[in-house]
Copies of this chain bind each other. A is one copy, B any other.
Amino acid sequence: MSAPVKYSHQREAIVDYLKSTKSHPTAEVVYENIRLIIPNISLGTVYRNLNQLADCGRILRLCCDGKNVHYDGFTHPHCHFMCESCGNVSDMDMDFPTDLLNKAKRLKDNNINNVSIVFTGICNTCKSIE
């Protein structure tokens, strides 16, 4: 959970990008978008920074399917929705069940740090294509 020691232009660009979008991009998508600003950034650097940022809690790492990890610049507790058809991840516009987390913490002697709540189904776009 410790923060990085040194400032890095690349890392801040990644954070800025993630905070500017409500989509929940994969590392590859982050890479493509950061390249528009820092053309010679490498994919390895993107991965390294995403891991570092997630480890220190500045961004969220979302593991919704077994394919790709998605990242979220908004770290307040909220629920996600993933479309089973297109794989897109979005925020759920509903209250976060804080009571559920507290209940779990009591059950596990406060050894719980977080909870991930991901709903799955078919999004409206895919529904209309069907």
Point out the residues of chain B lying under 8 angstroms from A111, CB to CB.
Answer: 121-124, 127
A24 to chain B, nearest CB (A): 13
Contact of B120 with A114 in the complex, beta carbons under 8 Å: yes
- Annotate A115-130 by CB proximity to B: 1 below 8 A, 0 otherwise: 1111111111001000
Q: Does any Cβ of B come within 8 Å of A13's Cβ?
A: no
A9 to chain B, nearest CB (A): 26
Point out the residues of chain B lying under 8 angstroms from A123, CB to CB.
Answer: 111
Number of copies: 2
Point out the residues of chain B lying under 8 angstroms from A94, CB to CB.
Answer: 103-104, 107
Contact of B116 with A120 in the complex, beta carbons under 8 Å: yes
For A110, the closest partner residue in chain B by CB is B121
A92 to chain B, nearest CB (A): 6
Contact of A107 with B122 in the complex, beta carbons under 8 Å: no
